[in-house]
A and B are shown apart, each in its own frame.
Chain A
Amino acid sequence: RKEVEQDPGPFNVPEGATVAFNCTYSNSASQSFFWYRQDCRKEPKLLMSVYSSGNEDGRFTAQLNRASQYISLLIRDSKLSDSATYLCVVIRGGFKTIFGAGTRLFVKA
């Protein structure tokens, strides 16, 4: 079993839809959590950090549940430009960075 697991998708949604991605991690010593997006043949780009209190950045909302070792990302009012692979990232031991394999999202007109 992988340390960070994501549904690979793909998720195919129409513009304007709300879509939710989930991620689970197995190591309870994990300390920091992020969502990145990666476009085809490009480098990962930071989308947002994830906090237990939940955080929101425009149309994006991230949530962390430490008890269940679960991270989520909600995208509201999807745009065509949101089409990408979304990567769940967990850091433990101060630096050991574990990337999920990613969830692919296709937003169609």
Chain B
Amino acid sequence: GAGVSQSPSNKVTEKGKDVELRCDPISGHTALYWYRQSLGQGLEFLIYFQGNSAPDKSGLPSDRFSAERTGGSVSTLTIQRTQQEDSAVYLCASSLGAGNQPQHFGDGTRLSIL
């Protein structure tokens, strides 16, 4: 079956612009996660959605970052007024539920801020 799909694969933009990253989770997966991975670093948790509940935004690094999930399925991560330190790979994962359910990752979006 189809895995987690992310788009775009690569995004290059100028500092100060807004960007939107999209994640389409595995069908039937109620939990959705966003992570950031900077070059040579581990994954950094950003935000978590479970079904139609309010998301946990505790990992978002600043108020320039926001995310939404429409209809409990597709999610969009938005970064406003991008800075060079936002350059990273943004990874989305989904799982059947939370807790002890393994997460399945998309290929990620490689974001480069010039």
Contacts and interface: CB of A to CB of B under 8 A. Distances in A.
B66 interface: no
Interface stretch (A9-17, A69-77, A99-107): A99-107
Contacts of B42: 87, 99-102
B61 to A, nearest CB: 16
A104 to B, nearest CB: 10
- Number of chain B interface residues as a range: 20 to 34
A100 B91 CA distance: 16
A45 B41 CA distance: 16
Contacts of A42: 107
Q: Is the interface of A mostly helix, strand, loop or mixed?
A: strand
Contacts of B35: 97, 99
Interface in B19-46: 31, 33, 35, 41-45
Given A95-B98, A96-B58, A101-B41, 18 more contacts: A43-B91, A43-B107, A43-B108, A44-B43, A44-B91, A94-B99, A95-B48, A95-B56, A95-B99, A96-B45, A96-B48, A96-B56, A97-B33, A97-B48, A97-B103, A99-B44, A99-B45, A100-B42
Q: Which 4 A-B pairs have the closest CB atoms?
A: A101-B42, A43-B105, A99-B43, A32-B100
Interface of A: 31-32, 34, 42-46, 49, 87, 91, 94-102
